[in-house]
Amino acid sequence: MIARLQLFYGGSPQDWVKIPLCLVRAYIKMIPRLRAEQALNNISEVMLGSGTMEHRAAQGALRDLQMEAQGESSEPRKLTEEERVQAIRSQGLFEVEVVPVA
């Protein structure tokens, strides 16, 4: 398990042995989420690079990356509801039905 912790978080084996067990458990618990986040980022990069991402979503992704590269934004841009729906639809993973909130 220490090898996996090092992969995601760095540090030496001795560092991980010295950390309180409650923190080690918390780090271990986050590994699947971090792997999924990394995979989604990789998928988005491939879709963007291969031209399979919907044009509008690709433009937004490129704009966000350019802003980050220039240091203009420390937080990702918040998508509007329509942009979120469009991004999910453009990935072709599943259909989205937006239910209005009363």
Please determine, for residue 95, whether its predicted confidence score (pLDDT) is greater than 60.
no
- pLDDT for 38 equals 87
- pLDDT for 69 equals 84
Domain limits of the chain?
53-92
Within 10 angstroms of residue 15's Cβ, the number of other Cβ atoms is 13
Polymer length of the chain: 102
- Distance CA(36)–CA(76), nearest Å, equals 18
pLDDT in tens, 28-78: 998 888 888 888 888 888 988 898 888 888 888 888 888 888 887 656 667
- Distance CA(87)–CA(55), nearest Å, equals 10
Within 10 angstroms of residue 84's Cβ, the number of other Cβ atoms is 13
pLDDT in tens, 19-40: 888 888 888 998 888 888 888 8
- pLDDT for 60 equals 86
More confident of the two residues 88 and 42:
42
Contact 54, 85 (CB under 8 A): no
Range 79-83 average pLDDT: 76
Nearest Cα neighbor of 39 from 93, 94, 98, 100 is 93
Nearest Cα neighbor of 44 from 61, 32, 56, 20 is 61
- pLDDT for 64 equals 82
What is the pTM (predicted TM-score) of this model?
0.55
- Distance CA(76)–CA(60), nearest Å, equals 11
